[in-house]
Amino acid sequence: MDYMLDREAMAVGEVIFDGCQEQPVDLNISLPDYCPDIQRILKCQIYPKIGSRSISGDRLMLEGGFTVKVFYLDPGGMRIRFCDSTDTFSSEISLKQAAENAQIYAFPRVEYINCRATSPRRLDIHGAFSVCAKVVVQGHSDVVSNIVGSDVEQQKKTMKINNLVGFCQQQFSVDEILELGSGKPPADSIMRTDAFAVLQDFKVTAGKLMVKGEACVKFLYDGTEENSMPEAMEFTIPFSQMLDCASVTDDCLCDVKLSVIGVEAQIKNDYSGDKTFFDTQIRLFASAAAYQGSEVTVVNDAYSKDFDMNIESKQKTVDNLAELVGDTTVHKSTLSVEDNTVSRVIDVWNEMSTVSAEIQGGQITFKGKYSLCVLALDEESKPFYFERLLDFEYTRACSSSGDNTKCEAQIAVGGISFRIMGSGIEAKTELRLTAEIFSRYSFKAITDVTADEEKPVARDNSAALCIYYAEAGENLWNIARDYRTSMTTIKQENGIAGDVMENRGMLLIPM
C-alpha cells in the first residue's frame, strides 16, 4: 500500500567551490633612470586586487592586477625611495558543476615574497599570491512534511529557515578631488595608497538597497623638496549607492559587505601651481544577500499501527543563517625595537589579518592575528623599517548558543593611531569584526513510505491496557512505536505532558 506524501520545498545553498589558486610572481626589475641606486632594501611586498569575477558554465573566472612595490634607501642612506611594477592576472577555476546566479565571494591573499638587489639598479623578485573564492548556488530540496493515512503515526520536526530571496553584486566608484591639509608640503609622487570601506547604514526601497558608508583612503607621498621625508595624509569620503537586489523587503535579514578593489590617484596643481590636490577614484565592490524567514516541517520518523512499514530515508544536514554579528574594537599594542630607537614615525599600516570565531555560553569570541608595518626614523634621522605580527581576542554577546552552530568570521583593519613610547611605539588599531552564525540541522529525511499489507501487526485483543516499566529519560515515541500505539494516547492515559520520562515508573499502554 502506497501512502500519499505531502512535501515542502526547502531552500538549500550548496557550496560548489571553496578554495584557493596560487599565482606566481617572478620579476626582474631595472630601476628607471630617474630613480637613484639602491643602498639597502627596506620593504618589498605584493599588492593584489581582484577586479572582476564571473562564471561561464562550470568555470569561475577571476581577473585583476597586482603591484610589486619596493621601498629602499638611496646611496646616502638617508632618503627613502621607491619603485614599483604593475601587471595583470587571470585565474580560471574549475567548478564541480555549472552554475547560474551563484554567489561569488573572492579575495586575494599574499603567500610569500623574496626580493634581493642583484646590482645597485636591478631587483630580482620571486613570490606568490593566491586568489581564494567560495561559490554557492541556491537550490531546493523536497522534504516530506506529512504522511496521509489513518493508521500512520509520525514524528515531525519544525525548523526555522532563512531562505535566500535576493542576491546582488555590484561595482561602483567614489570620485573626489582631495586637498592636502594646511602645513603639509606639496606632493611630488605617491609612494603608497591604502583604502578601506565602512558600511554605516542601508535601507530597503522598492526592491533595492540604498547603502551608505565611508571610503577611507590614506596616501604616503614624497614631497617636492630635495631632502624631505615622505608624508602621510588621510581622507574620509562619504558615499551612498543603490544596489539592485530583487525581492528584498523590509523584514529581510540582509548581509551587506563592502570592499575596496582598487584606488587610482593623480597629483594635481592648485591655483598657485603647487601640487596639493589628489584626483582620486576609489573602486568599491558591494555584495548583498537578503534572507526571508520561514518554517519547514519535516517527518523524520513514522510507523503504521496496522502493518509493517517500509521507510526510505537519507540523512541531511542544513546550515541555516541564524544571526549576523558585527562590531568594532580598538586593539592596543606595544611594538618594541630592540636594536634601534624610534625618533619619528613616518607611517604605520597593515598588510595581513586573519580571524576565526566560536560561540559558547551566549557569547561569540573572535581570535586572530594582524600585522603592523612601521616606517620610521632613528635617533640619527636615518630611515628604517620593522613589522610585527600581533595576536588579538575579542568577546561579545550574541543571541545564538554554542550547540550545533558554526561561524564564518571576517576582519577588516581600519584606522591606526600611534605614539612613540620609549624605543618603540604604542599603537591603537581599529578592528572591524563581522561573523555569519549558522544553525546546523541534522535530521533523517524520509523520501518514500509504503506499507506491507501482507504483514499485519499481531495484536493481543484480550486486554485494553498493557503495563510497561519505563526508565528515566526513556523516549515515549520509541515506546509507542514498539507497542504500535499512539504516543498521544500514552500521554493522555498517564497524565504526562512531555515526550520523555522524567522518572523511572510504570506506564499504562493502551492497546
Per-residue pLDDT reduced to its tens digit, 97-119: 998 888 999 999 999 999 999 99
Which of 111, 128, 146 is at the close of a domain?
146
196 class by beta-carbon count within 10 Å (0-12 exposed, 13-18 middle, 19+ buried): buried
396 falls within a domain: yes
395 class by beta-carbon count within 10 Å (0-12 exposed, 13-18 middle, 19+ buried): middle
Q: What is the mean pLDDT of residues 281-294?
A: 94
Q: What is the mean pLDDT of residues 293-305?
A: 90
405 falls within a domain: yes
Q: How far is CA 201 from CA 115, 412, 475, in A?
A: 43, 17, 49
Residue whose entry in the numeric block shows the C-alpha cell 586568489: 131
Q: What is the mean pLDDT of residues 299-310?
A: 90
Query: What is the per-residue DSSP string for 405-421?
Result: EEEEEEEEEEEEEEEEE
Shared domain for 28 and 114, answered yes or no, is yes
Would you say residue 459 has pLDDT above 80? Answer: no
Query: What is the per-residue DSSP string for 232-298?
Result: EEEEEEEEEEEEE-TT--TTSEEEEEEEEEEEEEEEEE-TTS-EEEEEEEEEEEEEEEEEEEEEEEE
311 falls within a domain: no
Pairwise CA distance, residues 230 & 80, whole Å? 7
Would you say residue 274 has pLDDT above 80? Answer: yes
Pairwise CA distance, residues 180 & 379, whole Å? 28
Shared domain for 77 and 2, answered yes or no, is yes
pLDDT tens for each residue of 366-420: 999 999 999 999 999 999 999 999 999 999 999 988 778 999 999 999 999 999 9
Shared domain for 63 and 111, answered yes or no, is yes
Would you say residue 1 has pLDDT above 80? Answer: no
Shared domain for 484 and 423, answered yes or no, is no
Q: What is the mean pLDDT of residues 169-184?
A: 93
Shared domain for 160 and 23, answered yes or no, is no
Would you say residue 272 has pLDDT above 90? Answer: no
Q: What domain count does the chain have?
A: 4
Pairwise CA distance, residues 77 & 19, whole Å? 43
Shared domain for 84 and 62, answered yes or no, is yes
Would you say residue 294 has pLDDT above 80? Answer: yes
Q: What is the DSSP letter of 382?
A: -
Shared domain for 278 and 358, answered yes or no, is no
Return the pLDDT at 124.
Answer: 97
Q: Which helix (H) or strand (E) holds 66?
A: strand 59-73
Maximal CA-CA distance, the chain: 110
CATH number at residue 477: 3.10.350.10
Shared domain for 340 and 430, answered yes or no, is yes
pLDDT tens for each residue of 118-127: 999 999 999 9
Which residue range forms the structural domain that includes residue 140? 1-146
313 falls within a domain: no
Shared domain for 301 and 166, answered yes or no, is yes
Which of 79, 113, 146 is at the close of a domain?
146
Phi, psi at 498, each rounded to 5°: -85, 180
Shared domain for 286 and 403, answered yes or no, is no
345 falls within a domain: yes
Which of 275, 305, 335 is at the close of a domain?
305
Split at pLDDT 50, 70, 90, the class of 464 is: confident
Query: What is the per-residue DSSP string for 150-211?
Result: TTEEEEEEEEEEEEEEEEEEEEEEEEEEEEPPTTPPPEEEEEEEEEEEEEEEEEEETTEEEE
Shared domain for 140 and 244, answered yes or no, is no
Percentage of the chain exceeding pLDDT 90: 70
353 falls within a domain: yes
- What mean pLDDT, rounded, does the chain reach? 92
Shared domain for 386 and 355, answered yes or no, is yes
312 falls within a domain: no
348 falls within a domain: yes
